[in-house]
Amino acid sequence: MSESETFLYWYPVIKCKFCPEDIPLPHDLLEEHPWYSEEDTDQPDWPSGGWKAIFACISCGHVYEYSAEAVQWDCVPKSARAKYHSDAICFCAEFRCARKDCRTPIKLHVVTGRSDELGIMRLLRHPFFVGDLPCGHPILPLPEREYQIYRVMDF
């Protein structure tokens, strides 16, 4: 095995519906991509057909509910063969729709480049995120106490 050998691993991403950015998904264990395959027929079979999650793009701020069909698999190069976990730093903000006549529970996911719950709170409180929630109402800022924010390691 040469020192310059590279190994490819599958990792899941969602293409933002509003800008050209990829949203990498946290995934428990990346699977090795077979070099011999000329087609992407060996992609991992995840997520299941009923999977849905709401993501806010950290680049453009748009909020959208994505389904399993939106998940694509790209490859990431690694310099050694090993077991790898996704490098995606994903937070989930749980809150209720701000409309007093609605109050639907929401789980909004945000993938960032750094581990920073306070940064996510700032973006939620100063309306950086735009778009409608699955209940049909626009995302609106709430008081800080209305949010529960925690890191998500896998779906």
From 147, 73, 69, select the one nearest 106 (Cα to Cα).
147
Q: According to the model, what pLDDT value does residue 22 have?
A: 94
Q: Per-residue confidence at 82, pLDDT binned at 50, 70, 90?
A: confident
* Structure confidence at residue 154 (pLDDT): 78
Q: What is this structure's pTM?
A: 0.86
Percent of the chain's residues with pLDDT above 70: 92
**Per-residue pLDDT at 3:** 54
> Per-domain residue ranges for the chain?
7-32+49-152
- Which has the closest alpha carbon to 154: 70, 47, 82? 47
What count of residues does the chain have? 155
- Answer for the pair 3, 132: CB distance below 8 angstroms, yes or no: no
**pLDDT tens, residue by residue, 96-151:** 999 999 999 999 999 987 778 899 999 999 989 999 999 999 999 999 999 999 99
pLDDT reported for residue 111: 93
| Predicted confidence (pLDDT) per residue in 18-75, tens digit | 999 999 998 887 788 776 445 555 677 788 889 999 999 999 999 999 999 999 988 8
